[in-house]
Amino acid sequence: MLYLHFGDEREEGYWLKCFKQQAPGLQVVTAKDKLAPEAVKWVGVWNPKPNFFKAFPNLQGVFALSAGVDALVARDDLPSSLPIMRLLDAGMAQQMIDYLLWVALTLQGDFDLYLQRQKQKNWQPELSKNPTKPRVGILGLGTLGIKVAQKFSQLGYSVSGWKRTAAFVEGVEVLVGDEGFVNLLKKTDLLVNLLPNTAATNKILNKANLEKLPQGASLVNIGRGQQLVDKDLISLLDTQHLRLAVLDVFSTEPLPENHPFWAHSQVIITPHIAAYTLPELAVEQVVNNLKRLAKGEKPTGLVDSTLGY
């Protein structure tokens, strides 16, 4: 039996419909159903409340209905021996590409500057159009980062990416290690964070690192808010070392009303929408993984609890 939990009945209803269509024989329940918690073997979740997992004594594994699993890995009600399986892409890579193209085109067309000038009723064109595309640096060349990197490379951008382990990615300069990280920062005009939040990447977007970017570079954070030191970013924007920050994720979500990002003219805020999970594709992955597990095979998207992603 799979227990599905979003904490939102409408959303759960839609996912239940997808499960019914794709796996009519699979028993999927939600909080609305009368269930014996002992019967639940698997749960599919997004952001459950503290102690949620303690209710299920016979749990065999958790399906994260998201790409990021930092919040699950950090919980104290889940034994680290319990497998966590996360979503791989599930429609998100193309949405990330669209989001990042919007940012790149904003910079190329100086539209961020015109939005600021509009607020001041200031009719001031730049002297000319930017002759070159920004050099793109992507932190995290995983399931999502690699697809973003390749698309930008195909579109004629110069793209570097940073990952933990070395790899060949056609059209993309792949960098690893501390030296690779600094090299990437030094030649990046548009820095994209797509790293998972782990002990090794928490607060990685700090002053010492961000000031290695060339003067006038911009940042997009679509990884996790905990990876950014907010006050360091603000100080680098205020001194004009950085031009623009486009932020989709925050250490506290929703972003509190009194946070200085809201009113900052060089910050664009989106409410954790860079990419939505597409339920049809996500359900397909969960169903296939349940089949794999039943046959004793390794599931896809299995999280390495020691690495935290």
Residues 45-104 that bind ligand OXD (CB under 6 A): 66-68
Q: How far is the CB of 91 from ligand OXD (least distance, A)?
A: 10
Q: Which does 222 bind (CB under 5 to 8 A by kind): ligand OXD, ligand NDP, none?
A: ligand NDP
Q: How far is the CB of 87 from ligand OXD (least distance, A)?
A: 6
Contact status: 224 vs ligand NDP (CB under 6 A): yes
Contact status: 151 vs ligand NDP (CB under 6 A): no
Burial of 9 (0-12, 13-18, 19+ CB in 10 A): exposed
Closest by CA position to 39, among listed 58, 14, 60: 58
Q: How far is the CB of 66 from ligand OXD (least distance, A)?
A: 3
224 is catalytic: yes
Could you say which of 44, 48, 68, 137 contacts ligand NDP (CB under 6 A)?
A: 68
**Which residue's CB is nearer to ligand NDP, number 113 or number 219?**
219
Contacts to ligand OXD by CB under 6 A? 66-68, 277
Catalytic residue list: 224, 272
Contacts to ligand NDP by CB under 6 A? 67-68, 92, 140-145, 162-165, 194-198, 200-201, 222-224, 248-249, 272, 274-275, 309
